[in-house]
Amino acid sequence: MQKQRNALFEDIQLNVEFTGQGLAVEYITTRAGIYAEVYKPERGVRIGETGRSICGKIKHDIRWFRSMRDGTAPESQLRRTLPIAQAAKRTGDIGFAYFVVCSDPRLEDKV
Q: Under CATH, which architecture does the 6-108 domain have? A: 3-Layer(aba) Sandwich (3.40)
Q: Residue ranges per domain, the chain?
A: 6-108
Q: What share of the chain is helix, strand, coil (3-state, %, to 5)?
A: 35, 25, 35
Grouping H, G, I as helix, E, B as strand and the rest as coil, residue 82 is coil
Q: Does residue 75 have a pLDDT over 60?
A: yes
Rounded average pLDDT over 69-91: 97
pTM check: above 0.85: yes
The pLDDT value recorded for residue 4 is: 58
Tens-digit pLDDT profile for residues 53-67:
999 999 999 999 999
Of residues 69 and 7, more confidently modeled: 69
Rounded average pLDDT over 27-45: 94
